[in-house]
Structure 1
């Protein structure tokens, strides 16, 4: 089973399309979110890819960043760009999250690549690795549905805003806000109670 959800196979193409873009879609939204966190917060970036553009925003804002991605090629590129940032090549479902508690966790463009079962387990796992008052930001379509990812050809699935709200509530989160960015990505911004 491909734990990278097809990204290892298309990594070089992804890097050409998005993996070198320092000011891509989502950077403004992520920058605004990061600025709501205390200075020098410890953040885990799940599905970090090459680190561009999302991880770079976290670093530029002075955060202590840790990162995880399941694609070896993406992690190699990440290491080339950010050699001082701890990164692990592993799937989010198998990761031990550096055996660390975090002030915030971000999963940009990741959750909907996972099965419903793995999404549910991941949100529960995220709750256990966030400090009380820690923040979670992830993207997933507000509409529930299944589609084939344009880049990987893999099945993607959104559980829909209502289901995500229910899961976040179940795992001890309160939604702060939901919104779309300039690329129509839908964000769930939550805090662990």
Structure 2
């Protein structure tokens, strides 16, 4: 497996940003899951999109549902494209692990196609940070395979790691989150929907 380039906060995503933007331009994979999840939020909810990319299709679905999105992406190209698409929304070009947006509180947090790109320790820390930034009654949605597995990311060629459903449920318990539901979309992506009581 490849190692990320030194000082590349995006872990290889900046190098493939243009191709990713083009591929996702008309993607609707997962939109129904996002729309279903977003129904748990009040109108005009503030949602943090971790690893937002260019905002298609996740942030697009959230904005269309009437929510205010705050995007975080460590790729300068992707963050700039997000800003171009959603000039009324806020975006920062930062690592999700150290984002300044964790100083705020949100009604919802999404992390689609992100969590499994992190090490086991970083995944745990991210889930704890998400819990701390969620308001009471807030909702968290992320993707990761339900089984324990490792694989090479098709885009960056870096290692991806799913801790497996049982480990994520243990992390929820540790963080003070409760599992609401699991979803699978048309691309066979597996979603964990958790809530902060």
Equivalent residues in 2 for 1:57-76 (5 A)?
57-76=61-80
Work out which of the residue numbers 10, 29, 36 in structure 2 matches 1:4: 10
Work out which of the residue numbers 125, 140, 144 in structure 2 matches 1:121: 125
Question: Which residue number in structure 1 is paired with residue 191 of structure 2?
Answer: 187
The secondary structure found in structure 2 opposite 1:9 is: helix
Distance 2:102 2:143 in 1: 22
Equivalent residues in 2 for 1:23-172 (5 A)?
23-97=27-101, 99-172=103-176
Which 4+ runs in 1 deviate beyond 6 A?
Answer: none
Question: Please, which runs of 5 or more residues in structure 1 have no aligned partner?
Answer: none
Distance 1:78 1:96 in 2: 17
Task: Please tell me whether the aligned partners of residues 139 and 195 of structure 2 are also in contact (alpha carbons under 8 angstroms).
Answer: yes
Question: Please, which runs of 5 or more residues in structure 2 have no aligned partner?
Answer: 1-5
Tell me how large the CA RMSD over aligned residues is: 1.0
TM-score by length of 1: 0.96
Task: Please tell me whether the aligned partners of residues 102 and 133 of structure 2 are also in contact (alpha carbons under 8 angstroms).
Answer: no
TM-score by length of 2: 0.94
